[in-house]
Amino acid sequence: NKEGKPLKPVFKKEHKYRVDKMRRNYQTQLAPRTLPSKNFFKDMNTKNRRKTAYLRHSLVPGTVCIMLNGRFRNHRVVFLKQLRKSGLCLVTGPYGINKVPLRRVSQNDLIATSVRITMDVKMNIPNYINDAYVFKAKKEVKRGPSKQRRKDQKLVDRQIVHQIKERKDKKILLKYLETTFGLNGRR
């Protein structure tokens, strides 16, 4: 005080609480969390592991689909099943009709059409046709498919073609599978 008078206390009693100044800087990000061990993700329960992708409702075994990507883009294929480990879809041409072999494709690269081929309970797709089987086939492309692969392709094709030939509209459906998808006319 300029005049030299002592200041009066604002409060009659002393504070029981400690008053701190506010911080000037605040962290914008949380500190990175360290994991407990190198094998942290290996030790997780099966509940927490990644599950296979949910299959779209429109993709039912026997659905005729249009492929959007890859070597066989715009070809019509028949959806057979979803592969368990990767969640990819197993499709085929059939090879005898439009030269599309057994392939695994992401469901994002398929458009499901309303055409369905009835897949009998008797229809037998071997259990050993899985991700590993189809992945090996990619490496064999340079040498050509193995005898076992040709045999499996014929087995699956024979069953699908048999189902097609039982339908009344078999000629139209066979022609439909042969043709590629395209947009015609003015856009």
Q: Which two tokens stand for residue 40?
A: 């942290």
Burial 119-150 (b: 16+ CB within 10 A, else e): beeebebeeebbeebbeebeeeeeeebeeebe
Task: Return the minimum-mean-pLDDT range out of 65-69, 140-144, 145-149, 172-176.
Answer: 140-144
| Torsion (CA) 21, 24, 29, 35 in degrees, nearest 10 | -50
pLDDT tens by residue, 84-134: 888 899 999 999 999 999 999 999 999 999 999 998 877 888 888 888 887
pLDDT tens by residue, 44-90: 555 555 667 789 999 999 999 999 999 999 999 999 999 988 889 99
Which residues, at least 6 apart from 87, have a Cβ–Cβ distance to it below 8 Å? 52, 53, 55, 107
